[in-house]
Amino acid sequence: MTAFGLVSKGLVAASLLGMLAACSTADTKSALGLGATQASAPQPTVVQGNCPRIVLRDGTAYHDVYVGGTKAAPDGSMDQAKLMYQASIANTTRQCRLEGGQMAITVQVAGRIVLGQAGAKGNAKLPIRVAVTEGDKVLFSELVPFEAALPTSEPASQFLFSKDNVMIPVGADTAMIYVGFDNGSDKAATKKKKK
């Protein structure tokens, strides 16, 4: 290899090092065009780790609707020939975020509706209660009159229920979320909540 080749390789290497040194900067945000002056919209703080868990109480995962006037037999059973539809809860989930010093919870329920022998058309009326308690204290309770389309061409269909803005105090570390079908009135829970 000639001396000229060695010199030119040395000059190229030195030039590259000089270019890299000139391009390096301690302010990486400026170098990448990410200046501190960029405005970003405030995002709600997600606190999924502290989110209360969802519990289904016994007897609240199913909702049976019979032809009007159908009564239970002496043994408590119902005439299945008069069943219009049955709704059931398959899965639940929730997401929590901090808003203005409170925890805002979104509760979602995925369920299934099966037509009974008496069949029905139109919408299923599903009374879904969402409640949050901590010990004996009711932090939130609401009965939501939810409607979902009944299956038409198939014997079963699915529904998705969502309840936003379930607000509870921050720091309710032992709180639990209850969700399920409720055939009772909202008055009892309201009275309990006022205690």
Q: What pLDDT, in 10s, does the model give residues 97-128?
A: 998 889 999 999 999 999 999 987 899 999 99
- Residue 133 belongs to what domain range? 45-71+80-194
* Residue 36 forms part of a structural domain: no
Using a pLDDT cut of 90, give the percent of the chain over it: 54
- Written as one string, the DSSP assignment of the chain is --HHHHHHHHHHHHHHHHHHHHH--S-HHHHTT--TT---PPPPEE-GGGPPEEEPPTT-SEEEEESTT----TTS---GGGEEEEEEEEEEEEEEEEETTEEEEEEEEEEEEEE-TT---SEEEEEEEEEEEETTEEEEEEEEEEEEEPPSSSSEEEEEEEEEEEEEETT-TT-EEEEEE--S-SHHHHHHHH-
Q: What is the mean pLDDT of residues 80-95?
A: 95
- Rounded Cα distance between 109 and 71, Å, is 29
Q: What was the pLDDT predicted at 44?
A: 56
Residue 47: pLDDT band by 50, 70, 90 thresholds?
low
Give the Cα separation of 13 and 183 in Å (integer): 81
State yes or no: pLDDT of 96 exceeds 90: yes
- Is 173 a member of any domain? yes
Q: Report the CATH number that the domain containing residue 175 is assigned in CATH.
A: 2.60.40
pLDDT at position 24 is 34
Q: Is residue 138, in this structure, part of any structural domain at all? A: yes
* Nearest Cα to Cα of residue 113 among 83, 155, 77, 78: 155
Task: Please tell me the predicted confidence (pLDDT) of residue 71.
Answer: 85
Q: How many domains does the chain have?
A: 1
What's the whole-number average pLDDT of the chain? Answer: 78
Q: Does residue 24 form part of some domain?
A: no
Mean pLDDT is lowest, of 43-57, 67-81, 84-98, 122-136, for 43-57
Q: Is residue 67 part of a domain?
A: yes
Tell me the per-residue pLDDT of 167-195, one tens digit each, with 9 for 90 and over.
999 988 899 999 999 976 444 443 444 44
Residue 171 lies in a domain: yes
More confident call, 111 vs 47 = 111
Work out the average pLDDT over 137-164.
Answer: 94
| pTM to 2 decimal places | 0.68
Give the pLDDT of residue 195: 45
| Amino acid at position 187, single letter | K
